[in-house]
Amino acid sequence: MQKTLELKAKPRTEKNTRRARAFRAEGRVPGVLYGGKKENIHVTVDKEDLDLLLKKHGLLIDLQLDGTKEVCLVKELQRDALQEFVMHVDFERIDLNKPIEVDVAVTYKGTPKGLTQGGHLRIESYTIKVRALPLEVPEEILVNIDPLELNQILRLKDIQLPKGATAVDDLEHALCAVRPPVEEKEPEPAVAGAEGAAVEPEVIGLQSKKDEEGAEGEAPAAGGGEKKEKKKE
């Protein structure tokens, strides 16, 4: 089940691009807190504190702001072009007594039986969208794949979700499957010529003297006249 993680924030009044760059240079990430039928509050949070919180995979956040706490979740992250740094963060207020819909990570455990038959495991989904009260949202969903045999597909309807969580996605949605081994293709036959006859492979290094002369052109006539270049059209 979920637990709340604390994150300190500071309000900000300046919202232009230049000031946002200055905040990042100071090691702070600009963001906004919204939702819950309250006014939007523009904030900044410490970059290192935010990175640590994201690594903990925390969903619920106690955002400490001016001596008060706002229960929220990270709704959206904007990163730089290389996806290395968080440029902006959106926090959404939530009501602990109302269900929310979120994506929860799936962890696959075990070794499918089908692997001993030459098959290979193919993961189709790494997350499952569930609906639950905020404090009942599972931190992860464990799926046992030991019984999975060759050519068998594990679907959302085949697993049991943690108590308090219901699936939002289609129950027929595939989570993973054990696929048969890939068969190697036979070498392609010789390519047919224009008239349908097979094209014989070229033999290198066995040219006759006549072929060599043809390749270099006919010998010049007596008198040693120079070879003339064909005029371009």
Is residue 36 located within the same domain as residue 59? Answer: yes
Domain boundary among 179, 201, 223: 179
Residue 135, domain CATH: 2.170.120.20
In a domain, residue 230? The reply is no
What is the tens place of the pLDDT at every residue in 99-136?
999 999 999 999 999 999 899 999 999 999 999 999 99
Is residue 89 located within the same domain as residue 118? Answer: no
72-101 average pLDDT score: 93
| Block residue for tokens 């290094």 | 205
What is the tens place of the pLDDT at every residue in 160-193?
999 999 999 999 999 999 999 876 666 666 655 5
Residue 22, domain CATH: 2.40.240.10
Domain boundary among 159, 179, 199: 179
In a domain, residue 190? The reply is no
Number of domains in the chain: 2
Range of 82's domain?
A: 4-94
